Amino acid sequence: MLYDNRKVKLNDGRSATLVLPNWFGFKHKKVAEKFEGDLEYMASLSIKGWVYAVYKAHKPNLQKGHKDFVLMWVETASGNPKTFIAGMAAAEMDEHRYQNGRLCRSCNEIVYSVDVHDYRHCSCETVMIDGGKDYTRCSQEGESVRIDFLTKEITV
Ligand SMILES: [Zn+2]
């Protein structure tokens, strides 16, 4: 699994590292070059039971019917991995852009569980989280935070 870890500031002023799994291993720079719209990788998110790599289009071409967000994913059911792409409007993304995470006070990492069977722990293994967005369970250690992947705000 590749990661796109990012330094973040919490709303109370502390700094931390947000652990961002790159679910499909897409090379974001190449994706941004290949598709128009000035794409920026947001996160790997589970939406209605499927995991997507979500990109924000800073300049969507509305005349071509492009949306504010680009969703990419890989299906391997046929044996040959195939990449798919879809669009999502900002209003629809509003209910998917948040996720609960867990902050470790020892190693200062924030982890989140992408999907139901996605078990995550911080690098010092003090804090764990599992169950994705809908069945979240986590260790007693650490602090719960709310992640807004769009604005990059982390709220304690
Ligand atoms: Zn830790």
Centre of ligand 1 from the C-alpha of residue 20, in Å: 15
pTM: 0.93
Quick check: 1 pLDDT over 90?
A: no
So what's the pLDDT on residue 38? 94
pLDDT in tens, 21-30: 999 999 999 9
Centre of ligand 1 from the C-alpha of residue 109, in Å: 6
Q: Copy the structure tokens of residue 41.
A: 């990788």
Centre of ligand 1 from the C-alpha of residue 27, in Å: 27
Q: Answer whether 97's CB lies under 8 Å from 148's CB.
A: yes
Mean pLDDT over 10-33 rounds to 96
Per domain, the residue ranges of the chain are 2-20+97-155, 28-93
Place of tokens 């492009």: 66
Centre of ligand 1 from the C-alpha of residue 51, in Å: 25
Query: How much is the mean pLDDT over the chain?
Result: 95
Q: Which long-range contacts (CB under 8 A, 24 or more apart) does 117-125 make?
A: 118/21, 120/19, 120/21, 122/19
Q: Answer whether 31's CB lies under 8 Å from 44's CB.
A: no
So what's the pLDDT on residue 77? 83
